[in-house]
Homo-oligomer: A and B are copies of this chain.
């Protein structure tokens, strides 16, 4: 028979999660809500998707959703911010890896192209921030402009180092961002190309140009 002191030290195993575990589980479930919502927004559009649709896809009730998110605006903000955060992390990684500006630019292009084929990245391209209330919209535009400025900086540095053709870096950054963002509009996950094929072919076309180069004499 245990002494009273050892009895005190052995806590009853609680069938409820402890607070840090609870927070973690809540976050996992919140992520599932965002992921299901991103898929639905991409399939049918933001306005045509209801909280009921999202709840149905997750086999839960609408009131359950309210434990994780406040409303549809908050969900969209969460989805789009996640897409942007993934891009910013990839860009930061490529910056830390260092090397020639042109190589960093190519890495950033691959990161960007890959993310727009994924649910959150696709949502960033398909839904657009006009749907969001002004404050969230401003925050997203700030994050987007960080990405844009990183592309411009790398293009300018590439021109400097002689690896990129002389150009207006702002315009070239827009051509790159446009061609790669468009992937998020047309890409079909079940279609004929893998995300890697799309990224490699689009980037190769952007790098080498559409026109046939004259054969070297």
**Cβ of B205 and Cβ of A207 under 8 Å apart?**
no
Task: Give the complex CA separation of A177 and B201 in angstroms.
Answer: 15
Instruction: List the number of copies, as a whole number.
Output: 2
Cβ proximity bits A51-64 to B, threshold 8 Å, 1 near / 0 not? 00000000000000
Q: Which of A13-21, A74-82, A124-132 contacts B (4 or more CB under 8 A)?
A: A124-132
Is A164 close to B, CB under 8 A?
yes
With contacts A128-B126, A182-B177, A202-B171 taken as known, whether A209 is within 8 angstroms of B212 at the C-beta atoms is no
Is A28 close to B, CB under 8 A?
no
Q: Among residues 159 to 199 in chain A, which have CB atoms less than 8 Å away from a CB atom of chain B?
A: 162-168, 171-172, 174-183, 185-186, 193, 198
Q: Which of A2-10, A29-37, A40-48, A86-94 contacts B (4 or more CB under 8 A)?
A: A40-48
Partner of A201, one of B48, B168, B186, B210: B168
Considering the complex, give the chain B residue whose CB is closest to the CB of A49. Answer: B130
Partner of A211, one of B45, B193, B201, B208: B208
With contacts A168-B201, A205-B171, A216-B217 taken as known, whether A210 is within 8 angstroms of B176 at the C-beta atoms is yes
**Cβ of B209 and Cβ of A207 under 8 Å apart?**
yes
Distance of A192 from chain B, by nearest CB (Å): 9
Task: Give the complex CA separation of A47 and B131 in angstroms.
Answer: 7
Please name all residues of chain B whose beta carbon is closer than 8 Å to the beta carbon of A198 when the two chains form the complex.
171
Please name all residues of chain B whose beta carbon is closer than 8 Å to the beta carbon of A175 when the two chains form the complex.
179, 182, 202, 205-206, 210
Beyond known contacts A174-B202, A208-B211: 10 more, CB 8 A cutoff = A162-B212, A167-B210, A171-B193, A171-B198, A171-B201, A178-B185, A181-B182, A207-B209, A216-B216, A216-B217
Residues of A within 8 A of B (CB): 44-48, 102, 126, 128, 130-131, 155, 162-168, 171-172, 174-183, 185-186, 193, 198, 201-202, 205-213, 216-217
Task: State the 5 A-B residue pairs at the shortest beta-carbon distance, nearest first.
Answer: A178-B182, A209-B209, A45-B130, A178-B179, A179-B179
